Amino acid sequence: MKQSCHTFKNRYGEQWLNTLVTSRGITRLMAPHSQLLDGSRSWDLQLCWEVLASAEVIAACYSHNHQRIPASAQRWLNRRQGLYARRCKISAEQARLAFNAALKVIEHPQMKQWCCCNACGQTWQRSQRELLSMLSSTEVVR
């Protein structure tokens, strides 16, 4: 049964997903995390959603549970894990980067404000905690 994921149900998540599925490698997947953590891009709601959407895809990769992500992301991930698996493997360092960036975003005041203003905010926060537990509980991240 397909789970609902609020991360991709907003214009920022949708735009990021469209950009991702037209890219070849994992560079685009990791870009929001790198930009956030190295400070090359200022904090805004768009960057926050891109980081979380990217973390959703990475968590799906490690948990082998692709039900949380949209079909287009599932197809992209399946291609990367199959045909390009050796070239596009996500490293432990990249998984740690995703975990750290997602943790910062969830605690950011803009995201907390979004949760207060939206009816689905509490459900979304719960799903993000599940996402982080998936990322942190894998052997790769430890």
- Residue 102 CA to residue 127 CA, distance in Å, equals 12
Position 1 in a domain = no
pLDDT attached to residue 84 = 52
Position 47 in a domain = yes
Domains contained in the chain, number: 1
pLDDT attached to residue 85 = 53
- Residue 31 CA to residue 25 CA, distance in Å, equals 11
pLDDT attached to residue 142 = 39
- Tokens in use for 118? 């939206």
Position 58 in a domain = yes
pLDDT attached to residue 49 = 87
pLDDT tens-digit readout, 80-99: 666 555 555 677 777 788 88
- State CA 40 to chain mean position distance: 19
Place of tokens 């052997």: 139
Long-range contacts of 84-88 (CB under 8 A, 24+ apart): 84/24, 84/25, 87/25, 88/25, 88/26
Position 106 in a domain = yes
Each residue's pLDDT, cut to its tens digit, for the chain (142 residues) gives 344 456 788 888 888 888 888 887 778 888 888 888 888 888 888 888 888 888 888 877 776 677 778 888 888 877 766 655 555 567 777 778 888 888 888 888 888 887 788 777 677 777 777 777 766 665 444 3
Position 142 in a domain = no
Position 113 in a domain = yes
- Tokens in use for 142? 């430890």
- Residue 104 CA to residue 94 CA, distance in Å, equals 15
Position 20 in a domain = yes
pLDDT attached to residue 132 = 74
Whole domain around residue 28: which residue ranges?
A: 6-137
